[in-house]
Structure 1
Amino acid sequence: MDHGRLAMEAVRRWLVDISAWNPSEHRFQSLLSLLPPQQQPQVTRFVKLEDRKRALVSRLLQYSLLTHVFRIPFHKIIILHTTQGKPYLPQMETTLQYLNNFMPYFTPFEWDNIVHAGPSNNMLTEFYRYWCLKEAYVKAIGAGLGFGLNRLEFHHNNWTDIYLCIDGIRSDNWRFFIFELENNHLACVAKGHPKEAIESYQVTLTMDSFDEEEYLHAVEFPEPGFISLVVDQLVIQS
């Protein structure tokens, strides 16, 4: 892996103009709450509003950059400071070091595709796609992650025409669909015959036998996309 190239890809230069930014007290406190508790006094210690704004934006800039480059949520970011107040990051896992924890769950074919997908973000996306497919299958058959994810190997054509091999044998009874959602999230749908569900799940199904035409119609039927809702839309008003 070319670490020099990856380092250059992580370079960002952002400027934030706060001269016309006049947040309400509620908005200011809301943004302040995004920072870890130990960081907040470093903002509120200033008396003048302009100084407090600079201190807040300076810290938000650091956290936002780390989230943007490394995909680390705000609440998981750790920023340390030298005795002179200079910020620095503690030793962090590289993307490959993080992914190595999951290597036993993939076949050599899948793992090779993941680690050779390109820059860190590409490797993570490739990893999430494979993981999403494996999770969709074991959930569809009613099994848990203890099923043995390395028994499953997925093949695809640019992430379409996806098919599954189980213990090295191709299964043509399943169809898989990957959806790219907002904020870099993925969703996978696995469709197969109920007879392939584990026994404890099959007994809960009200219908587990179909003629061939019914089965093919259901499994080949085009998958609709996802509709994004807010929480309040889940409550039906009478």
Structure 2
Amino acid sequence: MQVWAVSYDPPTFTEDLYQKGLLLVDEASSTRIKRFYRREDACRGLIARLLPRLLLKERGVASNMMSFAATEFGKPYITTPGINPPIAYNLSHDNGLIVMAFANGKAHPPAYSIGVDVMKVHRPRRDSYRSFVDTFHEQLTPLEQNLLSPEVPESEGLRRFFWMWTMKEAYTKALGLGLGFDFSRVEFDVIGNIVRVDGQEPKGWKFHRFEVTEAGELYVGVVAEFLEDDFETLVVPETDPKPWFKSFTAAAILERAIQELTQSG
């Protein structure tokens, strides 16, 4: 399993780079990207579509041979023939960070074996810490609610909350499920580092926790990877350094995409 993290810095993401990048994606993707009202959303959408293409290019796939599809819930996956082993990937973005997690999709169909989520640790200015957490009361288990009790300092409580939420998101994204999944079924004990689904530890999963500081802001994220049914579920705590984690700037990724994806081979 590997993660590519891309930081979005608007001043370096020039109009010329943006327009050249649009030429590297299919017409339908380009049309969807252009529909974004805010340019930063369009740029993040463009990066999200270029990252899996760069991944395939690393594996020796010609640009004109790359193909993708989406599940009924809209999760994209690779349909390019002849990739052995198959590649499973998933994307997430929040504010100034875009991440892509990928791994060999052997144990399960590639569309369903990996999920990633990343979020900036902060609360909306209009909310107090307590009102913010209480908004999600019904989607947290009693144990999670207790770990976010008023006795917990706000800074630690926010970190705990976003660890819980990104875990829930990553797990359901790996399953390929839509927004109808009841998040209260997924419990993340951030102190014991234990994941439970419907009160039981799910078999076959490996969860990687990671933190990123970008432009002075803290982000937390989780990768959920399905391995084998008989694999004892493991939550890998945040470590540093992370050999499976690579960081890039959006401008650098776009320049690389322009160079590599315009080549015929």
Larger relative contact order (Cα-Cα within 8 Å, sequence gap ≥ 6): 2
- Between Structure 1 and Structure 2, the one with more strand by share is 2
For the pair shown, the structure with the greater C-alpha radius of gyration is 1
Q: Which TM-score bucket, shorter chain as reference?
A: 0.3 to 0.5
Higher helix share: 1
TM-score computed with the length of structure 2 as normaliser: 0.42
